[in-house]
């Protein structure tokens, strides 16, 4: 029950009405008997600076950051975690000693979700489709986990080249950039990450790659989209024999990582499993 000592957390973005974050974090608070509440703050265009200043004035304990502010918010932070700075985006802010400290838990959430389905990236060949903000988190996560080689493909090749350079600045790993149309010529087994919005509801018939032969080269296929539950990309990969994973696990586990940063705790596996099942049920309503 909310009282005079309840700690307040929230989400800032535009829009925020669709977000599952309030459900996840308030569920975790109830499960762990934490005296906190999590709400969505709709921060409209040109109001980000006011919102960030208000966090300290209102004694907000922490916030998540969603589109379109994951990059812009970094200008208003007192400290930024090294991985978040490398990725170039912040999705979690901890308020401590009147300082706003930025983190990126997207890459942590993806790493934990992959481990849950027993996918090991060490020494593996990775394919990243896309070169935007999500692709940066994926690329840095793969390099951090010890991948052997990263191939990046994107409609705008210059963006893919920038991502390859970013990864190379922080990790000693081989990277290459290839055009989308060259994927059908590849024969090596890879773990593929689809990071673009192609195939997201309501455009569920769309697919970044239609070439059937391509899907036979996939050992694992990950699509960061979670609506629909199975994209055209994932269906093609599953039918070709690949292990598949959508973005639900990443969404849940990035929230877990943020909660643990805020409350300085480690959530036990049993609580995580029970809350994840409740989250999946909520997602399908």
- Catalytic one among 44, 61, 70, 96? 70
CA distance 90 to 69: 8
State which residues form the domain around 218. Answer: 108-246
List the structure tokens of 69: 């502010």
155-197 residue pLDDT tens: 999 999 999 999 999 999 999 999 988 887 888 889 999 999 9
Query: How many domains, in total, are found in the chain?
Result: 2
Give the residues of the chain that fall short of pLDDT 70. none
Q: Within a domain: residue 86?
A: yes
- What confidence score (pLDDT) does residue 222 get? 98
Examine the domain organization and report whether 208 and 91 are in the same domain.
Answer: no
Give the residue among 42, 137, 38, 50 at the shortest CA–CA distance from 88: 137
- What confidence score (pLDDT) does residue 130 get? 96
Residue 70 a catalytic site member: yes
- What confidence score (pLDDT) does residue 189 get? 86
List the structure tokens of 257: 């990582």
236-261 residue pLDDT tens: 999 999 999 999 999 999 999 999 99
Q: Within a domain: residue 1?
A: no
CA distance 149 to 155: 20
Examine the domain organization and report whether 198 and 120 are in the same domain.
Answer: yes
Domain CATH for 25: 3.40.50.10860
Examine the domain organization and report whether 63 and 158 are in the same domain.
Answer: no
Examine the domain organization and report whether 187 and 259 are in the same domain.
Answer: no
Q: Within a domain: residue 2?
A: no
Is residue 257 within a helix (H) or strand (E), and if so which, with residue range?
helix 248-263
pTM: 0.94
- What confidence score (pLDDT) does residue 1 get? 82
CA distance 199 to 276: 24
Examine the domain organization and report whether 178 and 163 are in the same domain.
Answer: yes
Examine the domain organization and report whether 43 and 150 are in the same domain.
Answer: no
Examine the domain organization and report whether 275 and 233 are in the same domain.
Answer: no
Give the residue among 274, 262, 279 at the shortest CA–CA distance from 93: 262
Examine the domain organization and report whether 257 and 240 are in the same domain.
Answer: no
Domain CATH for 215: 3.40.50.720
């Amino acid at each position: 029950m909310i009282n005079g000592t309840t700690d307040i957390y929230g989400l800032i973005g535009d829009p925020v009405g669709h977000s599952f974050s309030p459900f996840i974090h308030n569920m975790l608070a109830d499960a762990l008997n934490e005296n906190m509440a999590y709400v969505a703050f709709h921060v409209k265009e040109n109001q980000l600076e006011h919102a960030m200043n208000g966090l300290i004035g209102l004694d907000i304990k922490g916030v998540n950051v969603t589109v379109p502010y994951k990059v812009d918010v970094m200008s208003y932070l007192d400290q930024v975690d090294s991985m978040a700075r490398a990725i170039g985006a912040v999705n979690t802010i901890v308020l401590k000693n009147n300082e706003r400290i930025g983190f990126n838990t997207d890459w942590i959430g993806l790493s934990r979700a992959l481990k849950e389905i027993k996918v090991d990236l060490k020494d593996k060949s990775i394919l990243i489709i896309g070169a935007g903000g999500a692709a940066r988190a994926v690329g840095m996560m793969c390099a951090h986990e010890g991948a052997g080689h990263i191939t990046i493909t994107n409609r705008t090749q210059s963006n893919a080249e920038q991502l390859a350079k970013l990864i190379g600045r922080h990790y000693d790993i081989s990277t290459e950039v290839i055009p989308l149309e060259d994927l059908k010529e590849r024969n090596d087994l890879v773990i593929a990450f689809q990071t673009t919005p192609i195939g997201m509801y309501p455009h569920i018939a769309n697919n970044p790659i239609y070439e059937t032969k391509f899907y036979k080269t996939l050992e694992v296929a990950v699509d960061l989209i979670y609506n629909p539950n199975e994209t055209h990309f994932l269906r093609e990969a599953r039918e070709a024999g690949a292990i598949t994973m959508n973005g639900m696990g990443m969404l849940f586990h990035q929230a877990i990582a943020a909660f643990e940063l805020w409350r300085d705790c480690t959530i036990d596996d049993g609580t995580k499993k029970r809350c994840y099942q409740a989250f999946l049920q909520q997602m399908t309503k």
